Structure 1
Amino acid sequence: MTTDWTRDVKGTGQYAEVNGINLYFETHGAGRPLILLHGGLGSGEMFGPVLPALAEHHQVIAVDLQGHGRTADIDRPIDVRLMADDIAALIDHLGLDRPDLVGYSLGGAVALQTAAKYPSKAGRLVVASVNLRPDAIYAEMRAQQGQVSAAAAEYMKDTPMYQLYQRVAPRPEDFPRLLDKIGETMAKDFDFTEDVRNLQVPTLIVAADADMAPPSHYVEVFNLLDGGLRDGGWMGEGRSKGGHALTILPRVTHYSIFSSPLFAAVTLAFLDEQPS
């Protein structure tokens, strides 16, 4: 299996002791701050192919979430709401003024929860490939998720997730433990409907046209944000009142969207647009 996850993009790496965790992050570029959050079993390096574009006009802070990449695990579940507290604490630690939040999959759910719980700390929000509920995911994918546990570690040694973890993790032997925790997280029921409905920051919903859930599900998410409910009007007067937006990217999947130039392009277009 080939991957661009570990493309050699150099940034300034450091740790922050926040919220009971030693959180690793890398800083790239300069400009208005953008916190970038990776998917499950990955790290900030997943975004290597798109980091140069994102960092051209932004200070990109790519975080390794709990138990991922260079951030060691701690004694608590992997829970997006708890990790949102980590990101809020990091924002305070760095003295950032309402940075934009950009996240994919697990990281997208963390970004969503950060904006939902701490709206005064967030600027704009981009969430890619994030589902409202488990039942939105294709049944065959739910079945695969149910098989994620430490027992799968041996079978994952040829995957980019395992190889990246072995190369950068503080405790490479913790990979089976991470699989157990991710499996437990995916087995739990959740519903982000009210979190989305109550978002107070401009939000872009991004999905692949061949994602883990059908495109109609991401339209449902957009509907919760007052989007896609009426004609937009000649002057845009019928658009979502909160400045929210939706994009479905062509010819990408859940497993390639985060490294697609299209993802970088729509993210930058949304973050950098002038308020109407």
Structure 2
Amino acid sequence: MDIKLNYVEKGKGKPLILLHGNGENLKYFVHQIEYFSKSYRVIAIDTRGHGKSPRGNRPFTLKQFAEDLKDFVEEKKLEEIILLGFSDGANIALLFALKYPHYLSKLILNGADLHPSGVKRRVQIPIIITYGMFCILSFFHKKWVAKKEMFALMVNQPNIQKEELKKLNIKSLVIAGTNDMIKLNHTLKIHRYINNSKLCVIPGDHFIAKKESKRFNKEVEEFIKENRY
């Protein structure tokens, strides 16, 4: 691995890894770190090029971020992981689960999408326009390259096929807000494609883990403790 990922760790017990969304950092999960560390070994990570984690020299892609996670897991010798990802973090978690399922006991996908078309157009169109702007600016000054890379993650990725999801057999929770930026029918597809998955839609927008933390934490905790799925 060309970099060391920044992370915070709190609590003891079964490892619960938290992956934040695009342009954010591990502080997004402040309410989850505090709540779940009472029962679990909570590890919140800054993705490559986010927060205090260096950009490094490797490709700035979701697939690379999944590889970064694999290196982190192996370095820490973690097993039977509960993996919770939000937004791009959920996409990273999904890519990790598809390639390295043996590390996981349960998977929680909050606001995931299989491809950019899963995002509502009123949200995606401004993202595409902003990405185009940063592509132009990056020709004139390298300070805009990082912004271009960050927006490229949302414009061009992920690209996960339903056939891949159907092979996944990890106990999974697909959770989203009623007014999420991810299309509801897209969230429903993810749930249907993943065998052994549970769907939960709670009142709120894309940021339910932060804005509706009590309800979010309750649903996640019940799923972790649930043996049916």
> Same fold per TM (> 0.5)?
yes
Aligned to 1:264: 217
Asked if structure 2 preserves the Cα contact closer than 8 Å seen for 1:215 and 1:248, the reply is no
Q: Does the residue aligned with 1:210 lie in a helix, a strand or coil?
A: coil
Aligned to 1:202: 171
Q: Quick one: structure 1 residues 186 and 99, their matched pair in 2 at CA, closer, same or farther if it must change by over 3 Å?
A: same
Aligned to 2:127: 145
Q: Does the residue aligned with 2:17 lie in a helix, a strand or coil?
A: strand
Q: Quick one: structure 1 residues 188 and 53, their matched pair in 2 at CA, closer, same or farther if it must change by over 3 Å?
A: same
Q: Quick one: structure 1 residues 141 and 90, their matched pair in 2 at CA, closer, same or farther if it must change by over 3 Å?
A: same
Asked if structure 1 preserves the Cα contact closer than 8 Å seen for 2:19 and 2:90, the reply is yes
Aligned to 1:14: none
Q: Name structure 2 gaps, 5 residues minimum.
A: 135-141
Aligned amino acid, residue 246 of structure 1: L
Aligned to 1:115: 97
1:253 to 200, 205, 220: 205
Q: Rg: which structure is higher?
A: 1
Quote how far apart the aligned CAs of 1:27 are: 0.2
Quote how far apart the aligned CAs of 1:39 are: 0.6
Asked if structure 1 preserves the Cα contact closer than 8 Å seen for 2:79 and 2:103, the reply is yes
Asked if structure 2 preserves the Cα contact closer than 8 Å seen for 1:151 and 1:176, the reply is no
Aligned to 1:235: none
Quote how far apart the aligned CAs of 1:216 are: 2.1
Q: State the 4+ residue runs in structure 1 displaced beyond 4 angstroms.
A: 149-152
Quote how far apart the aligned CAs of 1:190 are: 4.1
Q: Quick one: structure 1 residues 137 and 47, their matched pair in 2 at CA, closer, same or farther if it must change by over 3 Å?
A: same
Q: Does the residue aligned with 2:73 lie in a helix, a strand or coil?
A: helix
- The 1-side partners of 2:202 and 2:48 are apart by 29
Q: TM-score normalised to the size of structure 2?
A: 0.88
- Name the one with the larger helix percent: 2
Matched ranges for 1:74-223 at <5 A: 74-149=56-131, 176-188=144-156, 190-192=158-160, 193-223=162-192
Quote how far apart the aligned CAs of 1:189 are: 5.4
RMSD: 2.0
Q: Quick one: structure 1 residues 134 and 176, their matched pair in 2 at CA, closer, same or farther if it must change by over 3 Å?
A: same
Q: How many residues align?
A: 219
- Give per-residue Cα distances to partners, 1:107-141, cap 9 Å, x unaligned: 11111111110011111000100112222221121
- The 2-side partners of 1:219 and 1:205 are apart by 8
- The 1-side partners of 2:43 and 2:105 are apart by 14
- The 2-side partners of 1:178 and 1:266 are apart by 35
Quote how far apart the aligned CAs of 1:49 are: 2.3
Quote how far apart the aligned CAs of 1:35 are: 0.7
Q: Name structure 1 gaps, 5 residues minimum.
A: 1-18, 153-173, 227-241
Q: Percent identity?
A: 24
- The 1-side partners of 2:151 and 2:166 are apart by 27
Q: Quick one: structure 1 residues 215 and 202, their matched pair in 2 at CA, closer, same or farther if it must change by over 3 Å?
A: same
- The 1-side partners of 2:12 and 2:126 are apart by 40
Q: Quick one: structure 1 residues 188 and 270, their matched pair in 2 at CA, closer, same or farther if it must change by over 3 Å?
A: same
- The 1-side partners of 2:157 and 2:225 are apart by 35
